[in-house]
A and B are shown apart, each in its own frame.
Chain A
Amino acid sequence: DIQMTQSPSSVSASVGDRVTITCRASQGISSWLAWYQQKPGKAPNLLIYAASSLQSGVPSRFSGSGSGTDFTLTISSLQPEDFATYYCQQAASFPFTFGPGTKVDIK
Chain B
Amino acid sequence: QITLKESGPTLVKPTQTLTLTCTFSGFSLTTGRLAVGWIRQPPGKALEWLALIYWDDDKRYSPSLKSRLTITKDTSINQVVLTMTNMDPVDTATYYCTHGTTTWDYWGPGTLVTVSS
Contact = CB atoms under 8 A, between A and B. Distances in A.
A39 B63 CA distance: 28
A43 B46 contact: no
Contacts of B107: 43-45
Contacts of A89: 47, 49, 103-104
Contacts of B104: 34, 36, 44, 46, 89
Interface in B91-112: 96, 102-105, 107-110
B75 interface: no
A71 to B, nearest CB: 13
B63 A46 contact: no
Nearest to A6: B46
Contacts, number: 51
Tier of interface size on chain B: 10 to 19
A16 B14 CA distance: 48
Contacts of B37: 96
Contacts of A1: 63
A2 to B, nearest CB: 11
Interface of A: 1, 32, 34, 36, 38, 42-46, 49, 55, 87, 89, 91, 94-101
A1 B49 CA distance: 12
A97 B49 contact: yes
23 contacts: A1-B63, A32-B102, A34-B104, A36-B104, A38-B47, A42-B109, A43-B96, A44-B104, A44-B107, A45-B107, A46-B104, A49-B105, A87-B46, A89-B103, A89-B104, A95-B61, A95-B64, A96-B49, A96-B102, A98-B46, A98-B47, A98-B49, A99-B46
Contact of B105 (A32, A38, A55, A94): A55
Contacts of B109: 42-43
